[in-house]
Amino acid sequence: MIRPDILVAAPMPLAVMAALDARFTAHRLWELGGADALPPTTRDAIVGIAANTLAGQIDSRLFDRLPHLQIVANFGVGYDNVDARAAAERGVIVTNTPGVLDAEVADLTVGLLLATIRRIPQADRYVREGRWATQPFPLSATLQGRQIGILGLGAIGKAIARRLAAFDLAIAYCGRHRQPDVPYAYFPDARSLAQACDVLIVIVPGGDATTHLVDRPVLTALGPQGVLINVSRGSVVDEEALIAALQDGTIAAAGLDVYVNEPHVPAALIAMANVVLLPHVGSGSVATRAAMGQLVVDNLIAWFTQGKPLTPVAESRHLPGAV
């Protein structure tokens, strides 16, 4: 294969960088001083981008500087960091990394739910601080008997549902449409789902269409025994409304893996004892991140050798070669 010139928009795992360097002429955007500092010869040479959320927005501003760009391969199943519509308007295909991280994120979600309800991190700190010797740890709430609501029943949502079904829990969901092949109760909107449940798991894509999908009315519907778990994007939940709901008892607790302004977490959330906070590690195992990185590389290789990407996103599927 001829070594196409690609732009790596932000640092990636070392194994991914090595694989990209082995098959492509990989230009590291952060070493070049950013998009505005790209030399004209480099701009003209770039035909692909390897992207991830660390790069910020991959949008028209960058596309306009790369007249021969053909493909953006995104590291992650979520791709709200890439303006896929603007890319499609220019005939540029966008790919993501679905499938390879579904199980890992689902496992982490169940762990976060258990940690939040049974207060596992708080119990760990209680032992480490020597407090158990003077007083037993307070009893926690229970997962048993709860009604689980899954906001977004895509591949990851289904994987979460299968795991929680093994806990003998009732499961309901909300999505863009009813899915006839699943055994779970369907609700047409987030508020009605929250009203019927006392655990709300958020696993929808980010972007304008889902910004603040979980707002104060949804949290109020979830109720004072309610638990919110967010493993999607921070933008999906109105963070200020969530903080207020946790402070005033509108809901009981929250487990969060994502935030609005990552990696910066509001001090109010950090101060709360009824919140479990993770540093966006839903897919964060060595094996899964390696598989995601390999799919980024494989998408680029497939495009430049066969003219057909492996996992184009919805906005790209009408473009030549994408189907």
Concatenated DSSP letters for 243-310? Answer: HHHHHTTSSSEEEES--TBTTB--HHHHH-TTEEE--S-TT-SHHHHHHHHHHHHHHHHHHHHHS--S
Q: Looking at residue 56, what is its pLDDT? A: 87
Q: Looking at residue 321, what is its pLDDT? A: 85
In the chain the first and final C-alpha atoms are separated, in Å, by 22
Query: Per-residue pLDDT tens for 67-90?
Result: 999 999 999 999 999 999 999 999
pTM (2 decimals)?
0.93
Residue 2, judged by CB atoms within 10 A of its CB (0-12, 13-18, 19+), counts as exposed
Whether the pLDDT of residue 234 is over 80: the answer is yes
Query: Per-residue pLDDT tens for 166-188?
Result: 999 999 999 999 999 999 999 99
Task: List the domain boundaries for the chain.
Answer: 5-100+286-316, 102-277
* Average pLDDT of the chain, as a whole number: 96
Residues with active-site annotation = 233, 262, 280
Radius of gyration of the chain (CA): 22
SS3 track for 191-245: HHHHHHCCEEEECCCCCHHHCCCECHHHHHHHCCCCEEEECCCHHHECHHHHHHH
CATH fold group of domain 102-277: Rossmann fold (3.40.50)
What band does 189 get if pLDDT is binned at 50, 70 and 90? very high
Whether the pLDDT of residue 1 is over 90: the answer is no
CB 3 within 8 Å of CB 25: yes
Ranking 51-65, 111-125, 144-158 by mean pLDDT, the lowest is 51-65
Q: Which amino acid would we find at residue 255?
A: G
Q: What's the rounded Cα separation, in Å, for the pair 54 and 310?
A: 23
Give the residue-averaged pLDDT of 282-304. 96
Q: Looking at residue 224, what is its pLDDT? A: 98
Percent share of the chain, pLDDT over 90: 96
What band does 322 get if pLDDT is binned at 50, 70 and 90? confident
Q: At what angle do helices 102-118 and 120-128 cross, to 10 degrees?
A: 60
Paired with 27 in beta bridges are 7
Domains 5-100+286-316 and 102-277 share a fold: yes
Give the residue-averaged pLDDT of 51-63. 92
From the list 173, 166, 125, 126, the residue with the least C-alpha distance to 144 is 166
SS3 category, 68: coil
Paired with 312 in beta bridges are 95
Query: Per-residue pLDDT tens for 220-232?
Result: 999 999 999 999 9
In Å, how far are 8, 178, 231 from 296, measured between CA atoms? 11, 31, 22
Whether the pLDDT of residue 202 is over 90: the answer is yes
CATH fold group of domain 5-100+286-316: Rossmann fold (3.40.50)
